[in-house]
């Protein structure tokens, strides 16, 4: 997808966390309207924009259920509704819409409290198969590798269930939500359970003993402080692993983040594979949250052994788009114009094949590779990355290793984002304007990501010791006859 503020997961979450913790009211005295009416005005604008211009409201959610949720959320606004409560309502609604490209910030006026006053859960955690571990020894009382069993007498499974309600993700995918919690558990715990000066923790120590500890809450700046330095890793890398196995690492499809030319990198890499007559290839797409959508089709052209299609269909809910944002100079689109949109029914417009390069029929690249391919994926493999994986999976081009991708197999809703600010709370909302449908074979269970044939999950000890068990397994599998 085109690069937007949410395709980089961490950047997205920092924006979300920019302002989170005041219970202050939006009074809007200048307009002389009540707090209740101010919130209701904002909610009506939020609902109207979503229902009018968002093309995928019923893609993975039940339309009638969403109508009921909108109605009940609006009716629940009363004199006790704070800005934070209102924000939580919007977050839950966005989560119910099941789209990982949806974005919602908190009012900018609450930033000061977040930066200076609010205390959060201080431990850095890792989520593995609905179990939660301490990933680094930030508190001497609870060593790294300990499994958290409860917090303030709430079982950890109950806590997880509650926190997941606030995190938007594609379809019914859970893996990306857990990756978000790995980095921002403290934020979502606060959203769900409010501020607490201390936390009573029950945990199982690495030696198996069940223990209890009381720890103090801390400021965000101390929780997200400097990490233990990890070995630097290039965003684009080509190497030859043991037994003549080629490894291509692509950590982003974002051209603004890449120092080199992506097209040149692919051509050089696959030419070397061809020149050296290598017949085993691993493509590492873990942590790649997406970027320029034409990079996905370009990459697959080096793996294709026959002509292929990439996008099956592109749709929008309105022909009233900001067409300047669809210019070829700032997006992947071919200077989208109103004449390229064809109305197919109410609130549904189909883009013509001339609108986007990925709607054409592609041919295999001159340096296309015919050998064995393995793909490394995880819950942060999202957007453009999931699109590429869907095409490769549908064409049975190789086996996938790791965990389910964060983006759905059928396609996502993104492209150029529609952004608006609610006038009273100043909450910023963003959603994709284009519904993407991939040219893939149908599956029995829509709303899932690309599920790997080889599920390989790191243990907490693997992570602490920085063991790359997925890559190790891929190299071993590549060399099996």
| CATH classification (class only), 125-218 | mainly beta
* CATH code 2.30.42.10 region(s) in the chain: 125-218
Q: For residues 428 and 333, is the Cβ–Cβ distance under 8 A?
A: no
**DSSP letters spanning 422-466:** -TTT--EEEEEEEEEEES----SSTT-B---SEE----HHHHHTT
CA distance 434 to 55: 7
- Token pair belonging to 347: 């609130």
Cα–Cα distance, 253 to 248 (Å, whole number)? 13
Extended beta strands in 92-161, E state? 103-104, 125-128, 131-134, 147-151, 154-155
Residues 77, 157, 379, 181, CA torsion sign: positive
pLDDT of residue 397: 98
By DSSP bridging, strand 454-455 and strand 399-402 are parallel
- Assign 387 to helix, strand or coil: helix
Q: What is the mean pLDDT of each run of 10 residues along the chain (481 residues)?
A: 45 40 42 85 98 96 95 97 94 98 86 78 94 85 95 97 97 97 94 94 96 94 65 84 95 92 97 97 98 97 98 96 95 96 93 98 97 98 98 98 98 95 96 98 94 97 96 96 80
- For residue 259, the model assigns a pLDDT of 80
Q: Where in the chain is the domain with CATH 3.90.226.10?
A: 236-478
Enter the pTM of the model.
0.91
Give the whole-angstrom CA distance, residue 323 versus residue 465: 50
Interatomic CA distance for residues 407 and 100, integer angstroms: 8
Round to the nearest angstrom and report the end-to-end CA distance of the chain.
37
Q: Measured at the alpha carbon of residue 438, what is the angle toward residues 168 and 368, in degrees to the nearest 5?
A: 120
Bridge partners of residue 246, in order along the sequence: 240, 281
Q: What is the pLDDT of residue 347?
A: 87
Q: Are 292 and 7 in contact (CB under 8 A)?
A: no
Class of domain 236-478: alpha beta
As given in the structure block, the two tokens for residue 22 are: 């005041």
pLDDT for res 232: 55
**Gap between the Cα atoms of 443 and 290, Å rounded:** 23
pLDDT at 108: 79
Tokens standing for residue 196? 């607490």
SS3 67: helix
């Amino acid at each position: 997808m085109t690069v937007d503020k949410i395709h980089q997961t961490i950047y997205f979450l920092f924006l979300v966390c920019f302002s989170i913790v005041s219970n202050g009211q939006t009074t809007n005295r200048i307009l002389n309207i009540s707090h209740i009416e101010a919130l209701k005005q904002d909610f009506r604008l939020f609902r109207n924009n979503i229902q009018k211009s968002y093309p995928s409201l019923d893609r993975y959610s039940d339309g009638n259920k969403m109508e009921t949720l909108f109605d009940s959320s609006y009716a629940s606004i009363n004199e006790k509704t704070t800005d934070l409560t209102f924000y939580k309502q919007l977050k839950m609604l966005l989560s119910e819409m099941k789209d990982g490209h949806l974005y919602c910030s908190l009012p900018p006026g609450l930033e000061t409290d977040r930066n200076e006053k609010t205390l959060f859960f201080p431990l850095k955690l890792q989520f593995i198969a609905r179990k939660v571990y301490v990933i680094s020894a930030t508190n001497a009382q609870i060593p790294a590798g300990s499994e958290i069993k409860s917090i303030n007498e709430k079982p950890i499974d109950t806590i997880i269930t509650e926190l997941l309600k606030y995190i938007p993700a594609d379809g019914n995918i859970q893996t990306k939500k857990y990756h978000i919690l790995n980095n921002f558990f403290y934020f979502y715990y606060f959203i769900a359970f409010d501020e607490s000066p201390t936390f009573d923790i029950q945990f199982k120590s690495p030696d198996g003993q069940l223990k209890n500890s009381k720890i103090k809450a801390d400021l965000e700046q101390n929780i997200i402080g400097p990490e233990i330095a990890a070995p630097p890793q290039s965003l684009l890398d080509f190497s030859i692993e043991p037994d003549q196995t080629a490894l291509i690492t692509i950590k982003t499809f974002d051209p603004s983040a890449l120092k080199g030319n992506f097209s040149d990198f692919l051509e050089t890499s696959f030419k070397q594979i061809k020149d050296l007559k290598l017949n085993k290839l691993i493509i590492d797409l873990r942590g790649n949250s997406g970027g320029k959508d034409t990079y996905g089709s370009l990459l697959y052209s080096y793996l294709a052994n026959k002509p292929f299609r990439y996008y099956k269909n592109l749709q929008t809910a309105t022909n009233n788009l900001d067409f300047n944002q669809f210019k070829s100079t700032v997006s992947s689109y071919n200077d989208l114009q109103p004449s390229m949109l064809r109305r197919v029914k109410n609130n549904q417009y189909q883009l013509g094949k001339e609108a986007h390069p990925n709607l054409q029929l592609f041919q295999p690249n001159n340096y296309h590779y015919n050998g064995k391919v393995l793909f490394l994926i995880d819950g942060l493999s999202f957007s453009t990355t999931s699109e590429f994986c869907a095409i490769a999976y549908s064409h049975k081009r190789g086996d996938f290793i790791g965990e389910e991708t964060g983006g759905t197999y059928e396609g996502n809703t993104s492209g150029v984002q529609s952004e608006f600010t609610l006038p009273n709370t100043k909450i910023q909302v963003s959603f994709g304007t284009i519904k993407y449908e991939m040219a893939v074979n149908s599956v029995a269970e829509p709303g899932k990501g690309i599920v790997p044939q080889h599920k390989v999950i790191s243990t907490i000890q693997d992570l602490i010791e920085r063991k790359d068990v997925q890559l190790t397994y891929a190299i071993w599998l590549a060399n099996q006859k």
